[in-house]
Amino acid sequence: MDIVQTLEKELEQAKKQVKALGKALAAFRSTLSRNQQTGAPARKKRRMSAAARKKISQAQKARWAKQRAKT
């Protein structure tokens, strides 16, 4: 009987260890799946307003016009 109780205790400990390993593996998978290519956490995509895009576009067009005027 003593051997059976010892084995049952070892079985419970093994189950706890497997459960802990499962949690650790899940945590690693979640961090790895964020961004597989770089390993960095995934970031939210920054979005520019239409007004900001227009302002940048106009500034670039002005730079091009200035460059064209020099040649």
Is it the case that residue 71 has pLDDT exceeding 80?
A: no
Q: How far apart are CA 51 and CA 59, in angstroms?
A: 12
**Looking at residues 58-69, what average pLDDT do you find?**
95
CA atoms within 13 A on the CB side of 44: 3
Q: What is the DSSP letter of 40?
A: S
pLDDT digits (tens, 9 = 90+) for 11-34: 999 999 999 999 888 887 777 665
Q: Tell me if 56 sits within 8 A of 50, measured CB to CB.
A: no
Q: Tell me the pLDDT band of 9, cut-offs 50, 70 and 90.
A: very high
Q: In 3D, which of 47, 71, 51 has the Cα closest to residue 59? A: 51
Higher pLDDT, 7 or 41: 7
Closest listed residue to residue 48, CA positions, set 40, 56, 60: 56
